[in-house]
Structure 1
């Protein structure tokens, strides 16, 4: 995480699906995959709120920010030292506790990687739900328009 020199915000490095896994044990990822989609979505919402709460802790307009020091952190990924401990239950509590235990410099990154991982695990479910809704909307639209045969008569 770093503060911009223009005092307009803070930034964090994003991770792709492969990069996200570096911060979690395989047991944690397997336990997350075993959750029903509804519980994963609830966890995703909790993690989104956690990330927002962490953002409130930062003040990009703070005059004491040393921007030369901030430049050392620009585009630096989260060190693996801040990886999540193994967790197989009560993820919201465990993830929140871990985020709060990390130094302020890295809290946004840690919260973001947890949020991103759960979102990545939810992607196939969300794609399936979008496809189902799209198919339903198409069927409904055909019923309202009528079939071609009935319009030709």
Structure 2
């Protein structure tokens, strides 16, 4: 996490799916993958709230921010010590507790990586839901067009 010089806020480094998993125990990822999609969505929403709560802690307008020192943190990969402990149930409270005990420098990164991991796991389900809705819409649109033509005759 670092503060931008232009005062536009704080930033967290983005990690790809493989890098996200480095911060979680394999049993945690397996347990997350076995959750039903609706529970994963609820966890995803809880983690979005956690990330928002962490963001509120930072004041980008604070005059005490040394922007020269902040430059060394720009796009820095979070340390291995930020890794989450193994969790197989009650994810939201466990992730929240872990994020809150971290150094403030890494709280935003930890909250973001947890949010992104759950989103990455949900991506195939979301894609299937979008495809299902699109197919339903197309079918409904065809039916409506067909019934309108029948009425005009």
TM-score when normalising by structure 1: 0.95
CA distance in structure 2 between the partners assigned to 1:79 and 1:10 by the alignment: 18
Deviation per CA, 1:74-125: give whole Å up to 9, x if none. Answer: 0101111110000001000000000001000110000000000000000000
CA deviation after TM superposition for structure 1 residue 67, in Å: 0.7
Stretches of 4+ aligned residues off by more than 2 angstroms: none
Q: Which residue number corresponds to residue 19 of structure 2? A: 19
How well do the aligned residues superpose, as a CA RMSD in angstroms?
A: 1.5
1:30 CA drift (Å): 0.3
What stretches of structure 2 of length at least 5 have no aligned partner?
A: none
TM-score after normalising by structure 2: 0.95
Once the two structures are TM-superposed, the CA of residue 8 in structure 1 deviates from its matched residue by 1.4
Partners of 1:82 and 1:104 in 2: CA distance: 11
1:46-87 alpha-carbon deviations (Å, 9 max, x no partner)? 000000000000000000001111011001011111100000
